[in-house]
A and B are shown apart, each in its own frame.
Chain A
Amino acid sequence: MAITTAPHAIIGTPQRPFRRGVGNAILGGVCGGLAIRLGVRERTVRVIFSLLALISGLGLLLYMLLWLTLPRSGEGHVIAQRILGKRRELHRTLLGFIVVLASMIILFRLGIPSFGIYTWPVLLSAAGIVGVWRGSSPDERRHLEDLVKSAPLIRVPPSKSRKNFWLRVLLGSVFIFVGLRSLSHIHGVWGGATPQLFGTLIVIVGVLILLAPWWLETLSELSGERRARVRVEERANVAAHLHDSVLQTLTLIERAAGDETAVVRLARKQERELRQWLFDPNQEDSGAATSTYSSLLHNIENEIESDYGVKVELVIVGDCDASDAVLALIAAGREAAINAARWSGAGSLSIFAEVETNNITLFVRDQGQGFDVDAVPSDRRGIALSIRQRMNQHGGTVSIKSIIGAGSEVQLALPRSS
């Protein structure tokens, strides 16, 4: 679909198909493309288009239409298609069009002399430009950006050539002069606010033309410097963190190379820490000051994984503050998790915690060897004291299920006083 045409017109030899030119484009390549297609000089086509534009604005419209609907040489899609194809682009283009329309209407209302027969072509072309800007291919957009940058008055940085400097000074002065004149005529025939506004506007434009390049340059230098500084700081932070955590751990792993469980434990600990640092930056500095249900559960996860080398799959739904009852629930859950890590023989355990409107639940499950719940002597400290007694004190319930050979689950529930 992407068809590339010749870079320049060959006089006397019309060429198919009709594409917008790339090599001989000044603006959108419409004239260049037409010249290639018809086999005439680019300049001839440009003069005809300019004349058409000056006479009625028709040339302008025709140019815009072709720009939007004719594929660029070497590209498969046309700009209009790209805009219509993407909802977001379409919205933005419409928005841009409305802004252009609104500002034109406001200008007319304020009594700025209208453009006469050129009003509508200019208006539509302005909208077309917005469309081109949004819908053009990256390549074409680069071309347009270069074009804007090389326009003599906007160029950044201020060109060193004297001609440009004087042109800018001249144009700026003319604008300021005209604006001041308009301001000084306020008491004349017109009176009122309109010329005042108009004059001010023109003065501002003049000042902008005079000073914009320097201002833009300072601005871009400043923001460039700031960005560089932020980047350096960020880099230093990352380096410091990696040094404290990852490099340390790698050294430890190297030293413990023979001890498989130690290596796994170190790797897990490091993984968890790095993960939290990368994906959960908010929790990083939540120390002892803010202890919520979820942060305390994360502590248990860390503790079990680093002390017992058992992987913990922790899932938390909802959160609440840590009241005394919640602390008791956490302590009971921690005991259950340590039991599972220590005795079940499973390599991983699941903890699921949910905070609902009326109660808080905590499940600790392993798929290890299991045990006979009834055979555990009732005086055994772990389950009896640490789990049952703690929960009962705060009106909670405990249920322990275990199947020999298939694992165990401790279910804890606490009513929530609102």
Chain B
Amino acid sequence: MSQPRVFLVDDHELIRSGIRSELTGSVDIIGEADEVDVAIEMILERTPDVVLLDVHMPGGGGIAVLRAVIEKVPAVRFLALSVSDASEDVIGVIRAGARGYVTKNISGPDLLDAIYRVAAGDAVFSPRLAGFVLDAFSLEGKILEAGDVDPELDQLTPRERQVLRLIARGYSYRDIGSELTISSKTVESHVSSVLRKLQLSNRHQLTNWVSERHLY
């Protein structure tokens, strides 16, 4: 696979230069922006494969960029990058369409791995995010409106649960594959399916977070 074309969005110059120096040579960095409006314009113009997106930015935050771009060019994939792994931040960007979420203290190789995975159309779950999903989809959890229960979207399969637990325990996709004796492609498809549920489910734990912060 050729090098993915990556675009950086972060309002801190220090963070951008740090990421740039870690990624240079391994990916093709085609631009960067430090403001929401500029970012939207440049991303729409250059259509990168992956956008590394800071969640907290003045002027609407990363979510504003996500919304504006995904509406017009759904092919652009987003990997959210933030100092905070507070659940409402995570859930906000994932439900707005990001394919993954990592914290800024992630190591260089791990970030690179995550970028390649997002570029390939897979989802990237940090252990914290996996734990959060297990919590939100817990069996005891209630669902917003009983009439709206969609078993396809509002429940995890036992296999998906297993995969998430292993991610939370710090296993890589390859380790998970050998632990469950399935291929890592299958692991990836389970994770992608969890991502879809996370984005579309009506479980009240998810909708609450979103509505409390007026994200919709």
A365–B169 CB distance below 8 A: yes
Instruction: Find the B residue at minimum CB distance from A315.
Output: B131
Q: Tell me, in angstroms, the Cα distance from A313 to B83 when the chains sit together.
A: 14
Partner of A279, one of B84, B134, B169: B84
Find chain A residues with CB under 8 A from B171 CB: 365
Find chain B residues with CB under 8 A from A278 CB: 84
Contact with B along A343-379 (1 / 0, CB 8 A): 0000001101010010000010101000000000000
Known interface pairs A352-B165, A354-B134, A357-B140; A313-B170 also in contact (CB < 8 Å) = yes
B75-127 with Cβ < 8 A to chain A: 83-84, 86, 105, 127
Partner of B134, one of A275, A313, A317, A365: A317
Known interface pairs A279-B84, A318-B138, A357-B139; A350-B169 also in contact (CB < 8 Å) = yes
Q: Tell me, in angstroms, the Cα distance from A414 to B83 when the chains sit together.
A: 34
A363–B84 CB distance below 8 A: no
Q: For the complex formed, measure the closest distance between the CB of A410 and the CB atoms of chain B, giving whole angstroms.
A: 11
A352–B168 CB distance below 8 A: yes
Whether, in the assembled complex, A409 has its beta carbon less than 8 Å from a beta carbon of chain B, the answer is yes
A246-296 with Cβ < 8 A to chain B: 271, 275, 278-280
Instruction: Find the A residue at minimum CB distance from B84.
Output: A279
A365–B170 CB distance below 8 A: yes
Whether, in the assembled complex, A222 has its beta carbon less than 8 Å from a beta carbon of chain B, the answer is no
A317–B170 CB distance below 8 A: no
Find chain B residues with CB under 8 A from A317 CB: 131, 134-135, 138, 168
Q: Looking at chain B's contact residues, is the secondary structure mostly helix, strand, loop, or mixed?
A: loop
A291-348 with Cβ < 8 A to chain B: 313, 315-318
Q: Max chain B CB contacts within 10 Å: which of A313, A316, A317, A350? A: A317
Q: For the complex formed, measure the closest distance between the CB of A403 and the CB atoms of chain B, giving whole angstroms.
A: 10
Q: Tell me, in angstroms, the Cα distance from A261 to B135 when the chains sit together.
A: 35
Whether, in the assembled complex, B190 has its beta carbon less than 8 Å from a beta carbon of chain A, the answer is no
Find chain B residues with CB under 8 A from A275 CB: 83-84
| In the complex, number of A-B residue pairs with CB atoms less than 8 Å apart | 46
Q: For the complex formed, measure the closest distance between the CB of B99 and the CB atoms of chain A, giving whole angstroms.
A: 20
Whether, in the assembled complex, B130 has its beta carbon less than 8 Å from a beta carbon of chain A, the answer is yes
Q: For the complex formed, measure the closest distance between the CB of B103 and the CB atoms of chain A, giving whole angstroms.
A: 10
B169–A363 CB distance below 8 A: yes
Find chain A residues with CB under 8 A from B84 CB: 275, 278-279
Q: Tell me, in angstroms, the Cα distance from A350 to B127 when the chains sit together.
A: 9
Partner of B169, one of A271, A316, A352, A357: A352
Q: Tell me, in angstroms, the Cα distance from A271 to B104 when the chains sit together.
A: 12
Find chain A residues with CB under 8 A from B170 CB: 313, 349-350, 352, 365, 367
Find chain A residues with CB under 8 A from B165 CB: 352, 354
Q: For the complex formed, measure the closest distance between the CB of B65 and the CB atoms of chain A, giving whole angstroms.
A: 19
Find chain B residues with CB under 8 A from A271 CB: 105
Q: For the complex formed, measure the closest distance between the CB of A416 and the CB atoms of chain B, giving whole angstroms.
A: 13
Q: For the complex formed, measure the closest distance between the CB of A272 and the CB atoms of chain B, giving whole angstroms.
A: 11
B172-201 with Cβ < 8 A to chain A: none
Whether, in the assembled complex, B203 has its beta carbon less than 8 Å from a beta carbon of chain A, the answer is no
Q: Tell me, in angstroms, the Cα distance from A317 to B169 when the chains sit together.
A: 12
Q: Tell me, in angstroms, the Cα distance from A313 to B85 when the chains sit together.
A: 12
Q: Tell me, in angstroms, the Cα distance from A170 to B127 when the chains sit together.
A: 72
Q: For the complex formed, measure the closest distance between the CB of A86 and the CB atoms of chain B, giving whole angstroms.
A: 11
A316–B127 CB distance below 8 A: no
A316–B131 CB distance below 8 A: yes
Q: For the complex formed, measure the closest distance between the CB of B85 and the CB atoms of chain A, giving whole angstroms.
A: 8
Q: Tell me, in angstroms, the Cα distance from A367 to B170 when the chains sit together.
A: 9
Contact with B along A367-407 (1 / 0, CB 8 A): 10000000000000000000000000000000000000000
Partner of A315, one of B127, B139, B140: B127
Find chain A residues with CB under 8 A from B140 CB: 357
Q: Tell me, in angstroms, the Cα distance from A352 to B130 when the chains sit together.
A: 11
A315–B130 CB distance below 8 A: yes
Q: Tell me, in angstroms, the Cα distance from A313 to B170 when the chains sit together.
A: 8
Instruction: Find the A residue at minimum CB distance from B89.
Output: A279
Q: For the complex formed, measure the closest distance between the CB of A380 and the CB atoms of chain B, giving whole angstroms.
A: 25
Find chain B residues with CB under 8 A from A363 CB: 169
Q: Max chain B CB contacts within 10 Å: which of A275, A313, A357, A365? A: A313
Instruction: Find the B residue at minimum CB distance from A366.
Output: B170
Partner of B168, one of A315, A357, A409: A315
Instruction: Find the A residue at minimum CB distance from B85.
Output: A279
Q: Tell me, in angstroms, the Cα distance from A232 to B84 when the chains sit together.
A: 26
Find chain A residues with CB under 8 A from B168 CB: 315, 317, 350, 352, 354
Find chain A residues with CB under 8 A from B131 CB: 315-317, 352
Q: For the complex formed, measure the closest distance between the CB of B59 and the CB atoms of chain A, giving whole angstroms.
A: 14
Instruction: Find the A residue at minimum CB distance from B130.
Output: A315
Find chain B residues with CB under 8 A from A352 CB: 127, 131, 165, 168-170
A318–B139 CB distance below 8 A: no
Q: For the complex formed, measure the closest distance between the CB of B91 and the CB atoms of chain A, giving whole angstroms.
A: 14
Known interface pairs A313-B170, A354-B165; A279-B86 also in contact (CB < 8 Å) = yes
Q: Tell me, in angstroms, the Cα distance from A279 to B84 when the chains sit together.
A: 8
Apart from A280-B86, A315-B168, 17 more pairs, CB < 8 Å: A275-B84, A315-B127, A315-B131, A317-B131, A317-B135, A317-B168, A318-B135, A318-B138, A350-B169, A352-B127, A352-B168, A352-B170, A354-B134, A357-B139, A365-B169, A365-B171, A367-B170
A-B contact pairs, 30 of them (CB 8 A): A271-B105, A275-B83, A278-B84, A279-B84, A279-B86, A280-B86, A313-B170, A315-B127, A315-B128, A315-B168, A315-B169, A317-B131, A317-B134, A317-B135, A318-B135, A318-B138, A349-B170, A350-B168, A350-B169, A350-B170, A352-B131, A352-B168, A352-B170, A354-B165, A354-B168, A357-B139, A363-B169, A365-B169, A365-B171, A409-B169
The list of the 10 closest CB pairs from A to B, nearest first, reads A350-B170, A315-B131, A352-B169, A315-B168, A279-B86, A352-B168, A363-B169, A317-B134, A365-B170, A315-B127
